[in-house]
Amino acid sequence: MDTPHLFACREHLPPHSLSVFVPLCDLRPANGPTEFHLASHIKANLVRPPSRAAACCPAGSCVLYDPRVMHRGGANESEGERALVYLTLSRVWYRDTLNP
């Protein structure tokens, strides 16, 4: 999870930012694609283990996600690099203090 829940008293709110990445190489299990814990951006879902999905996709794909979703990069066990372009768009009032 790159960004925390902003308001502890609310179960679910609209996103305050959006993360985007475009892989510059094919993402396959061997080069450790990003793994997402589905629906973990909803606080109520954090009490049970979420389902996981890996973002395996061809180079040039566009992956968009809510940065409140728990995610992680997998281990790159290939001999190549795992290059991608990454950016985060946010509401004008939001400042990411965890990933400046």
Kindly report, residue by residue over 83-96, the tens digit of the pLDDT. Answer: 999 999 999 988 88
Radius of gyration from C-alpha coordinates of the chain: 15
Edge-to-edge strand ranges of the sheet holding 63-65? 63-65, 17-23, 84-90
E strands present in the chain: 17-23, 34-37, 52-54, 63-65, 71-73, 84-90
- Look at residue 6 and tell me whether its pLDDT is greater than 80: no
Task: Determine the Cα–Cα distance for residues 11 and 39; give it in Å rounded to an integer.
Answer: 12
- Look at residue 46 and tell me whether its pLDDT is greater than 70: no
Confidence at 16, pLDDT banded by 50, 70, 90 = confident
pTM, full prediction: 0.76
Report DSSP state, residue 2.
Answer: -
Task: Determine the Cα–Cα distance for residues 56 and 89; give it in Å rounded to an integer.
Answer: 23
The model's pLDDT over 54-82, given as tens digits with 9 standing for 90+, comes to 999 999 999 999 988 888 999 999 999 99
